[in-house]
Each structure stands twice: as structure tokens, then as C-alpha cells.
Amino acid sequence: MKNWQGIESFLQLLALDGPSGHEDVVAEWISERFSAAGLTVQRDALGNLLARRPAADPANDRPPTVLITAHMDEIGLMVSHIEAGGFLRFVPVGGVDPRTLPSAEVTVHGRRPFPGVIGSKPPHLSTPEERKEAAGIDRLFIDLGLPESEVREWVRPGDPVTIRRHPQRLLDDRIAAKSVDNRASVAAVFECIAQLSSHPLQVDVVFAATVQEEVGVRGAATAAYQIRPDLAVAVDVCHARSPGVSTERTMGMGDGPAIQFGPNIHPALFRSLTAATQAAGLPHQILVAQGATGTDARVMQLCREGIPTAALGIPIRYMHTSVETVQYQDIRRTGQLLAGWLKGLNRDVVEGFLCFFDV
């Protein structure tokens, strides 16, 4: 798959703006590369991008279908109203941490894109009570540096806002950017496709770049309903270790993908993915999810009659900030895991998963 150039392609993908509900630019970029890889691509009514890789044997009557999702949206902001002086008030789209916003550079996607900054009352002019705590969103505003008349001409309530942050390469193939959650998983899907480029499969695979995950895993719900797969795997990010966080809830960066396990995960799929990492000699980690995972898996498991579902996590630091940090080696290994697992699937194996709970 020559159109995916590893880290360089990933940096291009990270630089694109695509908050929940406004994923068009990202979808177009991904669609071009899905098509270049020879996949049949369509976009559904909600905005999900669905790319199909059919089973190799055309005589095989309805081969099993596997759905692999990686959401392409990112958290963002939305203009709520315009105040006197042309200052913009805003609301979060997804799980935005207000503590990270003061002094951030942003792009307001009005009738054309406008650069701006997020401001707040200076500490010198704040009350003692205000200085004791971080400013909430109600105390923040966006300054475009334009007269109020121009702001009202070009910007409307409901316009999306994204953080302006150029992806930064760190040491040891690590990258920090605003949208690693979840473009890292989109990159892992492309790594998987590259691994499969010359290998025939015995299952149909639908790779879905889903929308609106950050506001309620919506895209995965409609994608799973219409595809009606036999199996599903959600690829997302998980928390990597850093100072001050619990080692029980975090994974090691550079230690490979995290295979999730818990009530949201089909036991046989968990074992199958674990065996695939061992067969390929890949490092992996186990992430225990005591309830529903915060991923597309949460809704895919419950779709229609129920779908055997698994979830993989790519460890990242500083989730839901503009400096989310990932090690590309973990992305590549996640793609290798998916490819190796898909190569081992056939009708009999899939039937074993579907009949797992038969009594």
C-alpha cells in the first residue's frame, strides 16, 4: 500500500480539523487513501466512511463479515453566541477539559476559517476567589481580533471551533498533536491494510472510519446496524502511564496494543486476539474494563441480535488535550495484530465465535 507512508502520512492526518459532526475534510482524506488501496468506499447518511475488502473466493456464498471501526472525529468547541465587542462565547463538543483552554490558539470555522485565541480575565484583575480555581468555560471567550460588525458578518452560533496545534515529532518515534484520539487508530487501520495488501482473506472486512464517537459513539451504532457484521472490533486509544496516574488504569507506551477484556468484550474474541499477538511475536497488554468500554465497542456489542465484539487500545498520554502523545511503534503493532488476526479467520472459526454461548 504505497499511498500510506507511515509517520509522514500520520502527521498529515493529525493536522486535519474534524470535530464531531464536522468530519468532512478528514473523511475526504481517508476516502482517497482507501480507494487507492483498492477498497470499495461509500459514505453513509450519518457520515461514516465504509471501505470494504471482499473475501478472495468469489464462489464463497456469503462469507462472514468483520467490521473494524476507528472513529475519525476529535473533540472541539462550538460558538454559542456573540457578545458586545465581537467576543465569542462557546460550548464544548465532546469531553473538553476547560483547564487546557486559556491562551490556546483556535480556528473558528465560520463562513471562512478565522484564527483566534481563547482569552480570560487576567489574574491581576481577578478576585481572590477567582484566582483559587481554574477558569471554567463560562469565564472564557474567543477573540478574533476583528471589529464586532465583521465578526457578526462572518461567524454564526453553531460554527465549529478547533484547536490550532501543529503536530510535533518527539524522540523515539513519538508524536504529540491535538487529534491523536483517534487518528492513531485510523493510522493503525492503514497499517493493517498495508499488511494485507497481497494476502487473500476468507472473510469480508469492512473498515469504518466512524463519526461522532466523542459525543456518544453514534457513528458506530448506525454502521453496525447497516453492515450487520458477524464480528466487530473497535480500535481506539487508551491511557498511557505518566506521573501522577494510577498504574492499574494505564498502559505502557511502547509496550504494544492493549487488548481489552470485560463484560463489553466477547471472551472468545479476546482469546483469539491474544493468541494472534503471541503467534506473531508481538508484545501486547491487557486492559481490564469492568463495564462498558468508552469506545465504539459499547454500542456494537448491543446492535441487532448482539454482535461478538472486541476492543483494542493504543496507549496515549494527555488524552483530550492538544498535546496527546503516542508512540508510532504501538500504532504499527496494532495494525500488524489486526492483519495477523484477520488472516486466521474463516467460516469455521467465525461459527465457533457465534456458537460460543450455545447450550
Q: Do the beta carbons of residue 239 and residue 302 sit within 8 Å?
A: no
Active site residue 213: yes
Q: Is 232 left (phi over 0), alpha (psi -120 to 50) or beta?
A: beta
Q: Which of 213, 214, 248, 324 is catalytic?
A: 213
Q: Give phi and psi for 223, each to the nearest 5.
A: -65, -45
Beta-carbon count within 10 A of 243 CB: 4
Nearest to 73 by CA among 111, 46, 42, 105: 46
Q: Which residues neighbour 119 within 8 Å (Cβ) at sequence distance 6 or greater?
A: 87, 102, 103, 140, 141, 142, 143
Q: Which three cell numbers stand for residue 174?
A: 513519538
Judged by DSSP in three states, 20 sits in coil
Q: Do the beta carbons of residue 49 and residue 209 sit within 8 Å?
A: yes
Q: Give phi and psi for 21, each to the nearest 5.
A: 90, -5
Q: What is the rounded distance in angstroms from the CA atom of residue 26 to the CA atom of residue 24? A: 5
Q: Do the beta carbons of residue 203 and residue 146 sit within 8 Å?
A: no
User: For the packed helices 267-280 and 347-354, what is the interaxial angle rounded to 10 degrees?
Assistant: 140
Q: Which three cell numbers stand for residue 19?
A: 470535530
Q: What is the rounded distance in angstroms from the CA atom of residue 174 to the CA atom of residue 10? A: 12
Q: What is the rounded distance in angstroms from the CA atom of residue 339 to the CA atom of residue 334? A: 9
User: Counting beta carbons within 10 angstroms of the beta carbon of residue 282, is it exposed (0 to 12), middle (13 to 18) or buried (19 or more)?
Assistant: middle
Give me the active site residues, please: 213
